[in-house]
Chain A
Amino acid sequence: MLSLERVTKTYRLGAFGLQKLIAVRDVSFEIGERQIVSLIGESGSGKSTIGKLILRLIPITSGKICFEGTDISTLNGQSLKEYYRRVQGVFQDPFASFNPIFKADRIFRMVHDEFYPEMGAREWTEKVEATLRAVGLNPPDVLNKFPHQLSGGQLQRFLVARALLLDIHLLIADEIISMLDASTRVDVLNLLADLKARGLSILFITHDLSLGYYISERAIILYRGRIVEMGPTDKVYNRPLHPYTEMLMEAVPRLDRKWEKEIRVEREGGLAGSEGNGCVYASRCPQAMDICTQEEPDLREAEAGHFVACWAR
């Protein structure tokens, strides 16, 4: 349904834009119908950049993003609006997504005015209330309130409801769980699973590995703008192939296994893309060989559907 082909994004930095920061480099992957794909990476790995590129919030530097066969960079005017009917995003901080001086349900009215101007008021109210119930909210409790009167979980569900008012096929969920409390985050996760059952595809962007495992069938591990490993979630988690993924899986605090006792301070590397040649992980990798600093490994299929970019494999 959605495919990324060798997508690269370079940001210009410094006073005159003289420095370059490669945030995402040569990233290719696909999201199929009714799939939840986790995009997992630490801060600075480029995971949010990929979400923004898919939502066309920032221009792409090179490569191509196709949605149902159409290159999204060619869209404009009416066709772009049609795209946004199908693809919507929800972001990390629910409080920052609302204008605090307006009531929270203003976002629904804006969707109405922009996308359904012909729909009558009564019909629209029914549609909004049905959608709110679909995301597990009770309309009288949450309508006609200011953002500060609602909890983070309620606001986040508001935003999902706003996306669902449109006929969306793909939801970009960028860290939508991380600001929520433990007791409510599971509800939002379950909501995503229910949406998938109703035919939606979701790109679930997260830094929290246990959330990715709970919800997704495919996982993509990013490191400094490169995909280092991707494949079915259980394979990536239970039999990681890339040394970086191995390190992540070992370091993530789990509830079923304690850390092995050792103090290992990770070597710190430079900025993304500043190394030039070689594997992005080579400077931190315990298994690095000569070739790792000279040539960049391509993403290769190690077993059915399970890809890894590592010379040691």
Chain B
Amino acid sequence: MLQVENLTVYYKTIRGYVQALEKATFTIADGEIMGLAGESGCGKTTLGHSLIHLRPPMNYIEGRVVLDGREVPVWDMEQMQEFRYRHISLIPQYAMNALNPTRKIGKMIAELLESRGVNFDEVLPELKRRLDLVQLSHDVLKMYPIELSGGMKQRTVMVVSTLLNPSLLIADEITSALDVSTQKAVCEMLVEFRDQGFVKSTIIITHDISILYQIADSILVMYAGQLSEKAPTETIFQDPRHPYTKMLIGSLPKVGVRHQEERLLGIPGSPPRLLNPPAGCRFRERCPVAFDRCVEVPPFLEISPGHSVACWRAY
């Protein structure tokens, strides 16, 4: 179980702090797959990375992270070494293209495990079992990354990053470069890994909300560095309470909707700059129901079990 309280992370630039993540407070239960959705630049990747690798120019400002009852010292790069990979694992964006091209997959895994003080031969039977599970031949261990297709590389990365049964897996845009058919297989593997108990909690970061509808148990929507809404997936789609969530869901083209019959609407305007952002709710300039109160930051409050929202109109 992951608990995040008031986590605030800024980027330090010459012109001041870019306020990329503001007082993030949420929990993820054991076995929960949480989707993290939002537009580019909303802070979703910052949130994911700050839980494991909070390095400059990212600056820890305040907040705490508790994983399975244990404090995670996200502000300390050295102490985090113990958590990385063993307890918290990250699949960064484009990870499948970052495999070392000069190492065979097996050698690369052995070196990785060695750096964590784990014996490769002890883990090998389990590794093979998991390769079988994702329908990869054991031969990939003797292959170079260039010999694998995109889907095979992504599956390899998923097996490697969950090999030590981390408590938390953060998957950043792992489906965005894949074809439709491979995308589905990779998504189903995330669910399978959870069902098999390889990982306890999962955060899937993606801009593609239809993927989250398929596999996520809950969805956290972010806007301009602030949390807007978190709720079970069905609730986000059926009964969204934050105006941003409503407009975002409403703007998605669905198979079965054509422009002649139902003209979808986008959200006018663009997100504020996060260097000296306006006070209060950051969505208020694009919000159709904004009122005086919105100059104060709305708290992220639980309005019904498992459903939290930050909007003065929703309480």
Q: Write the residues of chain A forming the contact surface with B, with a CB cutoff of 8 angstroms.
A: 42-43, 151, 153, 181-187, 189-190, 193, 207, 209-211, 213-215, 233, 237, 247-249, 251-256, 258-259, 261-266, 268
Contacts and interface: CB of A to CB of B under 8 A. Distances in A.
Contacts of B184: 251, 253, 259
Interface in B251-295: 251-260, 263-267, 270
Interface stretch (B75-83, B205-213, B305-313): B205-213
B192 interface: yes
B135 interface: yes
Nearest to B254: A255
A47 to B, nearest CB: 12
Contacts of A185: 251, 266
A123 to B, nearest CB: 31
Interface string B74-106: 000000000000000000000000000000000
Contacts of B256: 213, 256
A251 B134 CA distance: 17
17 contacts: A42-B180, A182-B248, A182-B252, A183-B251, A184-B266, A186-B266, A187-B266, A189-B253, A207-B179, A213-B256, A215-B259, A247-B181, A252-B255, A253-B213, A259-B184, A259-B214, A261-B188
B180 A209 contact: yes
A253 B187 CA distance: 10
B234 to A, nearest CB: 11
Given A186-B251, A214-B259, A251 B181 contact: yes
B137 to A, nearest CB: 11
B181 A186 contact: no
A251 B183 contact: yes
B255 A43 contact: no
Contact of A42 (B179, B208, B213, B257): B179
A264 B185 contact: yes
B304 interface: no
Contact of A252 (B134, B135, B180, B258): B180
Contacts, number: 124
B247 interface: yes
Contacts of A266: 151, 181-182, 185
Contacts of A264: 185
B39 A193 contact: no
Q: Which of B181, B187, B209, B210 has the most CB of A within 10 A?
A: B181
Contact of A207 (B180, B260, B267): B180
Interface in B182-228: 182-185, 187-189, 192, 207-211, 213-214
Contacts of B210: 210, 253-255
B207 A182 contact: yes
A43 B179 CA distance: 7
Contacts of B185: 263-266
A254 B252 CA distance: 10
A182 B209 CA distance: 9
Interface in B144-187: 149, 151-152, 155, 179-185, 187
Q: Which of B179, B248, B264, B266 has the most CB of A within 10 A?
A: B266
B207 A253 contact: no
A255 to B, nearest CB: 5
Contacts of A187: 266
Nearest to A43: B179
Listed from nearest, the 3 A-B pairs whose CB atoms lie closest are A183-B267, A253-B210, A187-B266
Contacts of A237: 255
Interface of B: 39-40, 134-135, 149, 151-152, 155, 179-185, 187-189, 192, 207-211, 213-214, 237, 247-248, 251-260, 263-267, 270
A281 B208 CA distance: 28
A214 B253 contact: yes
Nearest to A249: B255
B251 A182 contact: yes
A255 B266 CA distance: 17
B264 A190 contact: yes
B129 to A, nearest CB: 15
A186 B211 contact: no
Nearest to A42: B179
A255 B258 contact: no
A251 B180 contact: yes
B39 A182 contact: yes
Contacts of B152: 268
Given A42-B180, A183-B248, A253 B259 contact: no
B180 A183 contact: no
A211 B65 CA distance: 39
Q: Which of B182, B247, B255 has the most CB of A within 10 A?
A: B255
A183 B214 contact: no
Contact of B208 (A183, A186, A253, A262): A253
A42 B213 CA distance: 22
Nearest to A216: B258
A141 to B, nearest CB: 11
Contact of B257 (A151, A209, A214, A248): A214
Given A190-B263, A213-B257, A253-B184, A181 B213 contact: no
A160 to B, nearest CB: 15
A231 to B, nearest CB: 15
Nearest to B251: A186
B189 A263 contact: yes
A213 B266 contact: no
A262 B260 CA distance: 35
A169 B265 CA distance: 26
A183 B39 CA distance: 8
